[in-house]
Structure 1
Amino acid sequence: MPLINTLGMKVGSEKTFGAGYNVLPVWKKRLDPKTRVTTPNSDVIYAMSYLDLGRDGRMVFEAPPGLQGILLDFWQRPIPVDGGKFFGDVGLPGPDGGKGGKFLILPPGYTGSVPSDYYVYRSGTNNVFVFLRSFYQDPNDLSGAVATMEGARIYPLGATSPKPMEIPDASGKPVNMLPISDATAFDELKKLVDSEGSNLADPDWLGMLAGLGIVKGQPFNPDAGTRAILDKAAKTAYRMSRVIGFEEKLAGRDFRVYPDRRWVNPVADGTPQNPGGPFDLAWRRTADGYTDLDTRIWFFTDYYSISPGMLSQIPGKGAKYMIAFTDSRGTPLSGDKNYSLKLPPDVPAANFWSVTLYEAENASGYASGRPFPSLGSRDKPKQNADGTTDLYLGPKAPTGKDANWMETVPGKGYFAILRLYAPTEAAIDKSWKPGDIEVVE
């Protein structure tokens, strides 16, 4: 799933916006439901790019000040940085601390000389996913956050005449960047095998692909019958992942953030950094000696990208996410029903908080006909006299509650993500906790 998730984003993006290290689509008017991608955040400015170190060689990423980003290999593993103190993060949570700088991305097994004055990242795959975010304070003025993105530069190390950057506006463009769920997934895996060889996976995984006829340097031309089987297999696999992705308990573990709430987060047990060792996550069962595949499937059917900066336990850094698939009674959320969600006073987010709705079927932004499927602190919802905030989810706004209402569509299931950006101590120690999503009778 992490690999297929990345491939879906790459294929969809390049089909719509073009390919190349110099192509950096930016959602300059925020990311709306027309872009179909796994759980996007419509309350920041996004940019994404895809590099091939095997084709283009060592790459330089120049980050402007104020950026927050992640450099990941195609398995969405944060790329380790020379020195062992950082994994994947660039910008605010990275080694530059948000001041900007030059980041050198090296291909697998590179042993040559490394120039000074770069932050050096060593990728496990030739293909690299560049995921960037910038922040705004006023939803009516995105210019500063967009300008930050437009200041990014990507080019081969030592290039005397690199291709000029192309930064198309991706907002409002119909594009499918979801995980590939048909037979073309295997065609894209064949391209990766040809690009990566043994960098892509260990001999067992490569052997599984070889059993399907996917071998580096050899033709992959399945007949019509085989292709029909592969198509059904891909569709079934994605549906399986969506079922796994709705579980509150999995592989003997309870994902609930609070014992008496329905909010879940499968990476709450991840550690931001394991000094001297690899980045540790909920699915790496180091003590038991195996990878918890179900938990990893859960994550990459519901999310993409992760890094130590996202899991920071330092007040005022990173972010806290929690997901609600059900109401307080454990019933899946339905667009037919009316719900309320109460947030206690003093939401512990130094930057901002938001609630965003997503399609149950594919985890993309919930298409309700409204511009964005989110509502948060910067939208200035009305507070109650006691400092609490009541949000309302349903097909029609309660009388006088339009500022606190999120529209849903009858017959269309969904789930909700509560995000706390720059969470403060009350979020980290869990002394602050939101109410459950409650049915309004």
Structure 2
Amino acid sequence: MKQPNRTFTHLALAAAVLTSSGTALAQASHFDALANAPFEKDYPTADSTRLLRDELIFQRAAQAYLWALPAINIWAMKEGSEKVFGAGYNVLPVWKERIKASTLVTTPNSDVVYAMGYLDLKKDGPLVVEAPAGVQGILDDFFQRPLVGPTIDGRTWVGDVGLAGPDKGKGGTYVLLPPDYKGEPPKGSVPKGAFIYRSRTYNVFLFWRTFFSDPKDLSKPNAQIAATRIYPLGQKAAAKPMQFPDGNAKPADLLFPRDIRYFEMMSRFIDSEYVDPADLDMRGFLHTIGIEKGKPFSPSPEMRTLLDRAAQTAFKMSKVVMTDMINREPGSKYYPDRQWINVFAGENTSFQSSQTFTNLEQRSGFFTSAYSASPGMVMNMVNAGAKYPVTFRDKDGNFLDGGQSYKLHLPPKIPAKNFWSATVYDGTTASGLDNGQSHPSLNQMDKPVQNADGSTDLYFGPTAPAGKDKNWLRTVPGKGYFVIFRLYSPEQAFFDQTWKPDDMEKLR
């Protein structure tokens, strides 16, 4: 009997799984073929063996892709950053004029000054981070889990640095320990008053944000970041001098791949990392597809084709999760009558809204479109932290269309003690929408024109309505997009919903 072609078998699978137009028969025929794969005298035939083996590999590859999204998202950022700006604990790229759409990275915020660094506790050992005053910072491991810090007055500090961290924005010293570090650091090596944080991975993501009141004068937030010092524990005098390259000077591609390159990147990540016993089952999935720590990843041409299709399928699945399945989760919408989604509905950085399971839909949906998590981002804290309502749809439930024009009405007294902003993002990559404007966002400091009652109308579309340029964000015909409405230090009116934004309304 002629052998079936593996590639076309799985192209058929991808087409069946991703179809959403009611072609139940096509799906059933594929799934029936799997369920009814013939066995003879209790054993699979050669054709059944090939069909089911390839299906197993495809499924494990797709699930491994989704499982690893937090890690590969940030690993891609590390590789992309180091390619452009160089590597080392002393290299801290800063987007000195605010991050622009030319830097490709998931859901950046153009309304603060960013600094993003990548630390290697395997290569350099424990590191000391002197965080400057005024930052709102995060220390995450490379599965984007906040590092666990000290317990002070009954509270265990996790991940946050600066305004939402134990130094409370006054600046502080943090000692970062790798996952296999035993016991406590030697006496006398830890700077006085330092906070000790432990990581579950060798690699650590350092993420600073600083604020400004005048978009035309960013000297203060840049000076704050430039006060950062990072060095190996006990080696401050011999440390490499800090470097603060300008992230906008040479735009970097920090996006994770959507094809076979994802698994190639995953192999490099696995080789570099600590083996966490909690990950052994998922590492078994990786073994099935040819990824194993300490061994080269060298799939055959047929396997490469299969894994490439699995990666493309899994990426599209992650988008379905974000735009459809999360909508169906209890508590996923901020308001039952509106389209705004709460990507941290469980108020938990581990996406464990229940003590009985991890919400993999929320986890996959978030990390296919964003990076970094900390308690300050997810917990409901009045006048502290931040909230990130996001919408993919207009008032009528249709996906936002770059060729259409919309209005977003914001009632008076927007409840953000620090500031608010609205940003448009590419519907596929989740990077800042490359719309030709200096930044793909509008914020409170831009002083958009208010209505007579104190409310604000923002406009989105390919052209600005007459006289509305100051309140307008350009969109791109032929492209979908989504909007994040950020509130830094949200006030009580946001939480009790006495204030809430309208939906994006299509202009007729």
TM-score between both structures, scaled by the size of structure 1: 0.94
Aligned 8 A contact 2:327 2:333 in 1: no
Does residue 143 (structure 1) correspond to residue 214 (structure 2)? The answer is: no
What is residue 277 of structure 1 aligned with on the other side? none
Is 2:479 the counterpart of 1:412? yes
Contact 1:28 1:171 in 2 (8 A): yes
Closer, same or farther: CA 20–416 of 1 in aligned 2, 3 Å: same
After superposition, residues 195-274 of structure 1 pair within 5 angstroms as: 195-199=272-276, 201-247=278-324, 249-250=326-327, 252-270=329-347
Change in Cα spacing, 1:315 to 1:254, as seen in structure 2 (3 Å) is: closer
CA offset digits 1:230-268 (Å, max 9, x no partner): 223222222221222112645643511011111111313
CA distance in 2, matches of 1:31, 1:200: 38
1:99 equivalent in alignment to 2:166: no
Matches within 5 A, 1:344-359: 344-359=411-426
Write the distance in 2 (CA, Å) between the matches of 1:134 and 1:200.
Answer: 37
Q: What SS does the corresponding residue of 1:198 show, helix, strand or coil?
A: coil
**Contact residue 316 and residue 422 of structure 1 kept, 8 A:** yes
What residue is the counterpart of 1:274 in the other structure? none
- SS at the partner of 2:157? coil
Q: Is the 8 A contact 1:64 1:99 kept in 2?
A: yes
Structure 1's 396 and 219: CA in aligned 2 closer, same or farther, altered over 3 A? Answer: closer
Cα distance in 2, alignment partners of residues 330 and 248 from structure 1: 14
Q: Which moved further from structure 2: 423-432 or 186-195?
A: 186-195
| 2:148 aligned partner | 80
Change (3 A) 1:172 1:366: farther
The CA distance in 2 between the partners of 1:349 and 1:162, in whole Å, is 40
Relative to structure 1, the CA distance from residue 425 to residue 254 in structure 2 (aligned partners, 3 Å threshold; closer, same or farther) is closer
1:125 aligns with 2:196: no
| AA aligned opposite 2:384 | K
1:415 alignment partner, SS class: strand
Structure 1 stretch 407-416 or stretch 251-260: which is displaced more? 251-260
Cα deviations by residue, 1:335-387 (Å, 9 ceiling, x for unpaired) = 11111111000111111111100011111101111111101211111111111
Structure 1 match to 2:44:
none
Alignment deviations for residues 267-319 of structure 1 (CA, whole Å, 9 cap, x no partner): 1331xxxxxxxxx34731443x2212111101111221111112343321111
Partner of residue 297 from structure 1, selected from 360, 364, 372: 364
SS in 2 for 1:20: coil
Per mean C-alpha deviation after superposition, the further-off stretch among 422-431 and 138-147 is 422-431
The answer to whether the 8 Å contact 1:262/1:327 transfers is yes
What is the deviation of 1:212?
2.2
Matched, 1:378 2:445: yes
Say if 1:268 and 1:282, in contact at 8 Å, map to a contact too.
no
Q: Secondary structure at the match of 2:214?
A: coil
Q: Does 1:46 align with 2:114?
A: yes
Map 1:321-332 to 2 at 5 A. Answer: 321-332=388-399
Residue 225 of structure 1 aligns to a residue in which SS? helix
**Alpha carbons of structure 1 residues 382 and 62: separation in structure 2 relative to 1, 3 Å:** same
Q: Contact (CA 8 Å) 1:47, 1:149: kept in 2 or not? A: yes
Residue equivalent to 1:341: 408
Q: Which residues of structure 1 form unaligned runs of 5+?
A: 271-279
Q: Which amino acid aligns with 2:163?
A: L
Q: Which residue of 2 aligns with 1:429?
A: 496
User: In the TM superposition, what is the alpha-carbon distance from 1:229 to its structure 2 partner?
Assistant: 2.5
The Cα of 1:187 is off from its aligned counterpart by 2.5
SS of residue in 1 equivalent to 2:389:
strand
CA, structure 1 residues 164+281, in 2 after alignment: closer, same or farther (shift >3 Å)? closer
Partner of 2:84: 16
Which structure carries more helix by proportion? 2
Gaps of 5+ in 2: 1-68
Please give the alpha-carbon distance, in whole angstroms, between the structure 2 residues aligned to 1:248 and 1:216.
33
| Structure 1 residue 197 displacement after superposition | 4.0
Q: Aligned-pair distance for 1:394?
A: 1.0
Kindly state the Cα deviation for residue 393 of structure 1 after the two structures are TM-superposed: 0.9
TM-score relative to the length of structure 2: 0.82
Letter in 2 for 1:217: G
CA distance in 2 between partners of 1:251 and 1:290 (Å):
17
Report % sequence identity. 50
User: Alignment length, in residue pairs?
Assistant: 431
> Structure 2 vs 1, CA of residues 304 and 40 (structure 1 numbering), >3 Å: closer, same or farther?
same
Post-superposition CA distance 1:10-59 (Å, at most 9, x none) = 11111111111111110001101001111110000011111111111001
Compare 219-228 and 320-329 and name the one that shifted more.
Answer: 219-228
**Structure 2 counterpart of 1:15, one-letter code:** K
The answer as to whether partners of 1:242 and 1:362 remain within 8 angstroms in 2 is no
Contact kept? 2:202, 2:274, Cα under 8 Å: no
CA RMSD of aligned residues (A): 1.7
